[in-house]
Amino acid sequence: MEQCITYVGLDVHKDTIVVALAEAGLREEVRQHGTIPNTPAALKALTAKLTGKKRELRFCYEAGPCGYSIQRHLSASGYDCAVVAPSLIPRKPGDRIKTDRRDAINLAKLHRAGELTAVWVPDQAHEAIRDLVRARQAAVRSLRRARQQLSGFLLRHGHHYHRPAWTLLHRRWLSSLKFDQPNHHIVLEDCIAAIEAATARRDQGFAAAAAASSRKVRSTRGTAAENSSAGPGLAVRSSARSVDGSRPAIVTRSSWPPARTISISSPSSA
The model scores a pTM over 0.75: no
Across 81-108, b (16+ Cβ under 10 Å) vs e yields bbbbeeeeeeeeeeeeeeebeebbbbbb
Residue 84 has pLDDT above 70, yes or no: yes
For 74, phi and psi rounded to 5 degrees? -70, -40
Write the pLDDT tens digit of every residue in 107-142: 999 999 999 999 999 999 889 888 888 888 888 999
**C-alpha–C-alpha distance, residues 162 and 177, integer Å:** 14
**C-alpha–C-alpha distance, residues 262 and 236, integer Å:** 10
**C-alpha–C-alpha distance, residues 202 and 137, integer Å:** 9
Domains of the chain: 4-113 (3.30.420.140), 124-269 (no CATH)
Q: How far is CA 95 from the centre of its chain?
A: 30
Closest CA to 63 of 44, 77, 82: 82
Write the pLDDT tens digit of every residue in 27-63: 667 888 999 999 999 999 999 998 876 788 999 999 9
Q: How confident is the model at residue 228 (pLDDT cuts 50, 70, 90)?
A: very low
